[in-house]
Amino acid sequence: MPDYSDKVMDHFSNPRNIGEINEPDGLGEVGNPVCGDMMKFTIKVKDNRIEDVKYLTFGCGAAIAVSSMVSEMAKGKTLEEALKISNKQVAEELGGLPGNKMHCSNLGADALHKAIEDYMEKQGVKAESAT
Amino acid sequence: MKKINLDNAAASPLEPAVLEAMLPFFTEHFGNPSSGHELGNVPRKALEEARASVARLINAEPREIIFTASASEANNLAIKGLIAANRVKGNHIISSVVEHFSVLNQLKTLEKEGFAVTLLPVDQYGLVNPEQLDQAITDKTILVSIQAANPEIGTIQPLDDLVKVAESKGVPFHTDAAAAVGWTHLDAKKTGVALLSLAGDQFGGPKGSAALYVSKKTRIRPLIEGGIQERGLRAGTENVPILVGLGMAAKLAAETLAERVKKSSILRDQLKESLINNVPYLHLNGHPEQRLPHNLNFSVEFVEGEALLLRLNMAGIYVSSGSSCTSQALKSSHVLSAIGLPPELAQGSLLFTLGRQNSADEIPYITDQLNSVADLLRKMSPLYHQYLKEVQNNA
Ligand code: FES
């Protein structure tokens, strides 16, 4: 078993905000080129803030914990703030990830950023996100 | 909470009689079998008894058994050892795509050293076709190495037919029988294999106990040179307690093989039926009939194996998976891709290997848990949601 932190196991066991928002304001989907897994984020935006965020994840324990953590971190943030959420931050918030699971943390923030970019594109704005 | 080990191929507890047989050789009978004085006598006798028991299990002669510390070592001794003794005869080796890494990785190295390697493909069940073997053999072929059964999908190869083909062309045959010995009726003499690897920890013996069968007429060179232990084919003081354990496990396996196979097959089929009837989106991997009596391999559609494994672990059920996410190399199982399983199904693979300690009354709990775990993960799977949409659109 990978050496997962308690925080990772907590989010894996009780993932928050699972699902898919109907007619979302933004949608971001990413595949993990390393292992072939997938993540899909949908967001609802109100007054430039992420009012609601949901995700679907096909992936390992780390990937599920990452998506859950990202959803918690993003909720209520302004779009600019949410775009600054980085993969590294997510891993840190989770109390670290085993070395060979770091690549799973890329999925979460990437999928969220894609959803925000999708929203901004629809609004005709160009986004700048952290990686 | 219940604890159910369904990963017996990875590790299973020693049979009590095996441990009991081993213990005196750590203390009372600590002697070295090579000693000239009497401290070596009991260990030497025990070692030879163990050799005879292993030989009996596969119908070989005691002197055809070379003890090793793992089946990986036995596979290395078989292939490298045979090649070293037969280099002048040719440079071509034939094996299959579903072999254990202790075979495949050696072959990769040998290829770099100038050997020609042919890896035979398998069909959707994991079977090697004897005709394809026949076509692959050239006058440069010096070895065929094909496993007796696959440890992951449980498929049992048509070993007799494969060996016959190699024999008819005078090419020695090695079989990695680590997954098969103790679980199938394997007769080294009758099948006519030149070399056969086996692992004690696969049938109730301790870890670190294994052997290579080297038929009388087969010449190999040692990997480890030094003293004349194991007829000079494997130098180093014998690990007497471990090998006594191997001998006892082999003795028990030989005495009860038919009963074990039957009992395990029944339990496996009950588990299979229960899972297939109650857990949706399940695919059986490997051969439906020609498979090891303690092996089941399923793919759970739409979900990933490590997540399944961790959730089952939380419920006290221990399994393994061929998902890329569970492997250190982040590659999904080469066996599952060799049988043509699409990557998303390989990601959702679960391997169950039964052992003596499993029983039918565990089945309802296993079924319930797998069902709810798979359901939970499916509900958060983008692949499943996509599938549901497709179904809706088609309706
Ligand atoms: S998503 Fe595949 S290893 Fe984490």
Inside any domain, residue B286: yes
Both structure tokens of A79: 């779009």
Mean pLDDT of B168-183: 98
Contacts of B381 in chain A (CB under 8 A): 56-58
Domain edge (last residue) among B232, B253, B274? B253
Same-domain pairing of B290 and B246: no
Which pLDDT score is estimated for A93?
95
Task: Give the pLDDT band of residue B224 (cuts 50, 70, 90).
Answer: very high
Annotation marks residue A35 as catalytic:
yes
Which pLDDT score is estimated for A86?
93
How far does the centroid of ligand 1 lie from the alpha carbon of residue B251, in Å?
Answer: 43
| CATH number, domain containing residue B208 | 3.40.640.10
* A-chain residue closest to B378, CA distance: A58
Which pLDDT score is estimated for B165?
98
- Tell me which of B300, B302, B304 to substitute to probe the interface with A (most A C-beta atoms closer than 10 Å): B304
Contacts of B310 in chain A (CB under 8 A): 1, 12, 61
Amino acid identity for residue B338 in this structure: A
Average pLDDT of chain B to the nearest whole number: 96
Say if A72 is an interface residue toward chain B (CB within 8 Å). Answer: no
How far does the centroid of ligand 1 lie from the alpha carbon of residue B325, in Å?
Answer: 5
Close Cβ partners of B69 (under 8 Å, ≥ 6 residues apart): B208, B209, B210, B239
Same-domain pairing of B47 and B63: yes
* Tens digits of residue pLDDT in B323-354: 888 887 778 899 999 999 999 999 999 999 99
Inside any domain, residue B390: no
pLDDT at B219 over 80: yes
Strand partners, A57: A39
Please, which residues 367-386 of chain B have a Cβ atom closer than 8 Å to chain A?
379-383, 385
The separation between CA B129 and the C-alpha centre of its own chain, rounded to angstroms, equals 20
Same-domain pairing of B334 and B215: no
Which pLDDT score is estimated for B13?
93
Out of B308, B309, B325, give the residue to mutate to test ligand 1, the one with the largest number of ligand atoms within 8 Å of its CB: B325
Amino acid identity for residue B288 in this structure: P
Q: What percent of chain B has pLDDT over 70?
A: 100
Matching residue, tokens 């997954």: B179
> Alpha-carbon distance B73 to B152, whole Å?
19
Using the beta-carbon criterion (under 8 Å), do B385 and A58 form an inter-chain contact? no
pLDDT at B110 over 90: yes
Which pLDDT score is estimated for B1?
79
> Alpha-carbon distance B74 to B354, whole Å?
24
Which pLDDT score is estimated for B130?
98
Same-domain pairing of B246 and B265: no
Q: Ligand 1 pocket, A35 CB below 6 A?
A: yes
* Tens digits of residue pLDDT in B30-51: 999 999 999 999 999 999 999 9
Which pLDDT score is estimated for A33?
66
Same-domain pairing of B323 and B293: yes
Say if B300 is an interface residue toward chain A (CB within 8 Å). Answer: no
Inside any domain, residue B392: no
Same-domain pairing of B204 and B264: no
Which pLDDT score is estimated for A32?
73
Which pLDDT score is estimated for A126?
61
Exposed, middle or buried, A100 (CB in 10 Å: 0-12/13-18/19+)?
middle
Same-domain pairing of B295 and B337: yes
Matching residue, tokens 């069902």: B371
Which pLDDT score is estimated for B337?
94
- Which of B304, B326, B330 is opposite residue A58, by nearest beta carbon? B304
Which pLDDT score is estimated for B332?
86
Which pLDDT score is estimated for B144?
98
**Count of CB atoms within 10 A of residue B269's CB?**
12
ipTM, 2 decimals? 0.91
B97-101, B253-257, B326-330: which range is least confident on average?
B326-330
Inside any domain, residue B387: no
B14-23, B75-84, B202-211, B321-330: which range is least confident on average?
B321-330
Say if A63 is an interface residue toward chain B (CB within 8 Å). Answer: yes
Same-domain pairing of B40 and B150: yes
Inside any domain, residue B384: no
Exposed, middle or buried, B353 (CB in 10 Å: 0-12/13-18/19+)?
buried
B322 vs chain A: nearest CA distance in angstroms? 12
Contacts of B314 in chain A (CB under 8 A): 13
* Tens digits of residue pLDDT in B113-152: 999 999 999 999 999 999 999 999 999 999 999 999 999 9
Per-residue pLDDT of chain A (131 residues; tens, 9 = 90+): 788 999 999 999 999 999 999 999 999 999 876 677 899 999 999 999 999 999 999 999 999 999 999 999 999 999 999 999 998 999 999 999 998 888 888 889 999 999 999 999 998 866 566 65
Using the beta-carbon criterion (under 8 Å), do A15 and B383 form an inter-chain contact? no
Q: Find the domain containing B41 and state its range.
A: 16-253
Ligand 1 atom index nearest CA of A62: 4
* A-chain residue closest to B304, CA distance: A59
Q: Ligand 1 pocket, A104 CB below 6 A?
A: yes
pTM attached to this predicted model:
0.94
Length of chain B: 395
Matching residue, tokens 């909720």: A75
A85 vs chain B: nearest CA distance in angstroms? 23
Q: Which of A27, A50, A104, A107 is catalytic?
A: A104
